[in-house]
Structure 1
Amino acid sequence: MDQLLLVRCQLGEREALTELVRAWHQPIWSYARRMLGPARADDVTQEIWLAVLRGLPRLRDTERFRPWLFTIARRSVVNALRSSYGEPGQEPVEPVMDDPADTLLDRVELVEGLAKVPAREREVLILFYLEDLSLEDCAEICAVPVGTVKSRLNRARRLLRTHLTENP
């Protein structure tokens, strides 16, 4: 990430902020969609960007922008998950992970299998494999030790493998 771009954003340059959003909107929206499903991803992504705008002036280490951004995204996703669990008479909805642009059957099966993995494990799979974050960054974002991230990844891989082999 270009630290100069972040400094320009912190100074209030609209063009820099536009560049920042353009560069990071898709990864953040994809994370929200994978965790919550497409119906709620847009609203949560807007909440994430509002939180980023509010917190950006307080970001001191611009080299840590990516984990900081995904920490904000995670908090917003967790809040959205909590609100859906608290609604009376409504079952928690597992996200539908379909992507109309993907035409490969293997990809569809993988996405469906990923949707069946519990949220904590799915989260580390997404952050580690799809967002290409390090174990340390995943631990920071999830506010857990690196060992916990490793065990969640291990469990998530086993669960995903089970879901994929059960449905040949």
Structure 2
Amino acid sequence: MSKSTALTLDMINLLVLQAKHGDDRAFNMLYTHFFIPMKRFAFVRVNDTMLAEDLVQNVWLKISKRIKTLDDITLFRSWLFKALKWEISDWVKSSKNKILANSAHEDASDSQVADQALDMGQLMPILAGLPASEADVVELHYLNGLSVQETALALDVPEGTVKSRLSRARETLRTSIYEESNYEL
């Protein structure tokens, strides 16, 4: 899958409205736009490209059946990521697997390694260095462009919690960057 298409919020809202009324083309455009960000979100949590893709596919199957029930089309992005978060949570519960940050048994030449980069090679260590709750808000807000309100809805936390986690994450990153720059001098 290539890069996601650049859609404005208004375009997304229009496509959601059209998809609610059964427009398959609109639904496919939404899928194309959100696939890579959703795959990245899932991958960071499960550390397996194929599993991340399967989880995203499962969410889109559910969304295709439930989109008609979405009352407020402006909540689509947060609804989408919240559905993905639930799908990941359900997988963790049903598989009873530990999600590992690094998979030592994977071969470095495996094509999966190339997929894992997802243009985030430099961001993965930074996100991994943050507490999970802060990494979640940073990824949704900064990397996926969700507003504070949408991020709060996706994570099922108050907006104030999102703001404080973003603030703590920024401070952690600032400190980390400052320490690295002083160490190199």
Instruction: Give the alignment's TM-score, normalised by structure 2.
Output: 0.69
Secondary structure of 1:133's match?
coil
Q: 1:79 to 1:25 in 2, by over 3 A?
A: same
After superposition, what is the alpha-carbon deviation per residue over 1:13-54, rounded to whole angstroms, capped at 9, x for unaligned?
322222221122122222222333243311111122122112
Q: Distance in 1 between matches of 2:54 and 2:128?
A: 20
Give 1:34's aligned residue. 44
Higher mean alpha-carbon deviation, 112-121 vs 151-160, is at: 151-160
Q: 1:149 to 1:33 in 2, by over 3 A?
A: same
Q: Which of the residues 37, 51, 56 maps onto 2:62?
A: 51
Q: Which of the residues 86, 100, 104 maps onto 1:93?
A: 100
Instruction: Give the alignment's TM-score, normalised by structure 1.
Output: 0.75
Segments of structure 1 that go 5 or more residues without pairing to the other structure are none
Give 1:11's aligned residue. 21
Q: Distance in 1 between matches of 2:22 and 2:94?
A: 33
Secondary structure of 1:92's match?
coil
Q: 1:128 to 1:144 in 2, by over 3 A?
A: same
Q: 1:82 to 1:54 in 2, by over 3 A?
A: same
Give 1:130's aligned residue. 143
Q: 1:7 to 1:92 in 2, by over 3 A?
A: closer
Secondary structure of 1:12's match?
coil
Q: Distance in 2 between matches of 1:158 and 1:116?
A: 13
Give 1:153's aligned residue. 166
- The one-letter amino acid of 1:80's match is W
Contact 1:29–1:41 at 8 Å: present in 2 too?
Answer: yes
Q: Distance in 1 between matches of 2:129 and 2:65?
A: 34
Segments of structure 2 that go 5 or more residues without pairing to the other structure are 1-8, 104-112
- The one-letter amino acid of 1:44's match is L
Secondary structure of 1:47's match?
helix
How far apart are residue 113 of structure 1 and its match?
2.8
Contact 1:36–1:95 at 8 Å: present in 2 too?
Answer: no
Aligned residues: CA RMSD: 3.0
Higher mean alpha-carbon deviation, 110-119 vs 122-131, is at: 110-119
Contact 2:47–2:99 at 8 Å: present in 1 too?
Answer: no
- The one-letter amino acid of 1:127's match is L
Give 2:78's aligned residue. 67
- The one-letter amino acid of 1:34's match is V
- The one-letter amino acid of 2:117's match is D
Q: Distance in 1 between matches of 2:130 and 2:93?
A: 17
Give 1:76's aligned residue. 87
Q: Distance in 1 between matches of 2:118 and 2:144?
A: 20
Secondary structure of 1:93's match?
coil
Higher mean alpha-carbon deviation, 141-150 vs 151-160, is at: 151-160
Q: 1:112 to 1:58 in 2, by over 3 A?
A: same
Identity %: 31
Q: 1:73 to 1:137 in 2, by over 3 A?
A: same
